[in-house]
Amino acid sequence: MITAIVLAHAKPSRIVEAAQAVADIDGVESVYSCAGDVDLVAVVRVRDHAQIAEVVTEGINRVKGIKRTTTHIAFNSYSSADVEAAFSLGE
């Protein structure tokens, strides 16, 4: 699976509706409203890069209220459990 993090800027009056519409798109795992430089963060998990392009360009970018997006492709996933396991291998 490929994970992408999509940062979205939305019209303030449409954030809630846009977030729900994005969450309903196939391939979108979760959506978060945020304080800071972006309004929404969507986590996309799909099988290949072509699907990321489809989810973002045909899905997220067409949601009413979304002004623009930036997409980041994840290479690896880490969690605190993963880090602890890596350091305890030799014990």
The fold of 2-87 is: Alpha-Beta Plaits (3.30.70)
The domain spans of the chain are 2-87
Walking along the chain (91 residues) 10 residues at a time, the average pLDDT comes out as: 97 97 98 96 97 97 98 89 62 51
Supply the pTM of this predicted model.
0.85
Specify the DSSP class assigned to residue 63. Answer: S
The pLDDT value recorded for residue 80 is: 74
Tokens of 78: 């880490």
d(CA 8, CA 15): 10
